[in-house]
Amino acid sequence: MGTTHGRRRTGLGILVAAAFAACNGPGAENPDQLWRDAEASIQARRFDEAQALFERLGKARAPLPRDWMLRAQIALAREQTDEALAALAEIPDDTPLASQARLLAGQIELRRDRARFAEKHLLEAIRLDPRAAQPLRELIYIYGMQLRRRELSEQFAALAEVSALRYENLFHWCLMRNCQWEAGEVAQTLGKYLAADPDDRESRLALADNDRRLGLYDEAEEALAPLPETDARALALRVMILMERRQEDRAEELLAADRSNDPELARLKGRIALARRDGPEALRWYRIAYDDDRTNRDAVFGLIHAYELCGQPEMAAPLRKEAESLEAFNSLVQRMATPAGRNDPDMIRQAARACAQAGLIPEARGWLKLAISRDPLDAAAQQELFRFNEKHPPEKDRLAKAPGANKP
């Protein structure tokens, strides 16, 4: 029996060898060697040679995910953007290269000013690898340009979980809570985004808001024109333009026709109600705005005035403490931007406390982590972070940041 079994194995080996020889005869090429040669050609900037090697590789075997990545690199080197994106799209989600492929696709789209498509690819990269830092950094750039504060803060918070943030990172995170970019600085970039992709709603809204802040109301309205009347953020901008043009009656007509509970529109409705001394109506709208974002300065102060107008100062009292904390946070951010503030050795601790008191939990945690990274032997900072995480568990904080978590 042992001899028969051995003969069967020998016969199978002959068949396998024959099959291999048929596919890889004297004229066959080694796919792995071709791949290495093509990669070496890319490094040596011999791109035509790399392309020829890739074509030979395609004849030697069915493309693997790493082959498609190689094809994308060759196409990029030869400035064949569409071909590079097509190659990256061939890499399946269930392979180790998938997140890297989506990141590269996002960077390619951002390079050609198609922010909407870049965002889609970058979000996919994060979904495939939640601990990837670079897609988060790329999204932070896009959201910063478009001044999408909530999304920007969410990406900063995610980045803080997977990467050590520097002082400058944390400063910009805090700065973007309330600041406005210098309108003229980003207008050119937003204009490029919109020229490359007219359907980019976020860039269109950001450009319109930029024009509004520059007093270019006709240009702002022109940018908003393609957006439907049902678009809540576009409606909010149209209302603000009318208010700044002193066309309050028309602004109120637009708001009166709106039946949504959109927080941004709610703040505008609350503002009008306060101007009319209509306490209950102001309270109704500012409550919606406050419940959506308790760190929004306009919502907090608006709700305080609404309660006072309704004769409920006791309800406004705890909100005043919140308002004071937000004002202290904003003042500290202004100090951070000065040379004296940057050189203050206690600034990091002050920032952590100010953020915590203002309810900016991820930011506070980031500052405490920075303090420890600068001095790993700082026992006080380590104890403070431990107590802080006990009071504000990171997982609970992430759930609180989920879309709609704070909405009524």
Per-chain mean pLDDT for the chain: 89
Q: Nearest 5°: CA angle at 305, between 304 and 308?
A: 90
Identify the band that residue 342 occupies on the pLDDT scale cut at 50, 70 and 90: confident
Interatomic CA distance for residues 187 and 295, integer angstroms? 27
Q: What is the CATH number of domain 31-175?
A: 1.25.40.10
Q: In this predicted structure, what is the pLDDT of residue 345?
A: 85
pLDDT at 144: 93
Q: What is the mean pLDDT of residues 365-390?
A: 90
Question: How do residues 171-220 score in pLDDT, each as one tens digit?
Answer: 999 999 877 667 667 899 999 999 999 999 999 999 999 999 999 999 99
CA distance linking residue 261 with residue 268, whole number of Å = 11
Phi, psi angle pair for 131, to nearest 5°: -100, 10
Tell me the pLDDT tens digit for each residue of 126-161: 999 999 999 999 999 999 999 999 999 999 999 999
pLDDT in tens, 60-103: 999 999 999 999 999 999 999 999 999 999 999 999 999 999 99
Phi, psi of 110 (to 5 degrees): -70, -35
Rounded (10°) CA dihedral 298, 302, 304, 305: 140
Average pLDDT over residues 243-269: 95
CA 157 to chain centre: 10
Distances in whole angstroms, Cα of residue 337 to Cα of each of 118, 244, 295, 341: 31, 30, 21, 7
* pLDDT of the residue at 181: 66
Residue closest to 167 by CA, chosen among 373, 334, 307, 18: 373
371 near 127, Cβ under 8 Å?
Answer: no
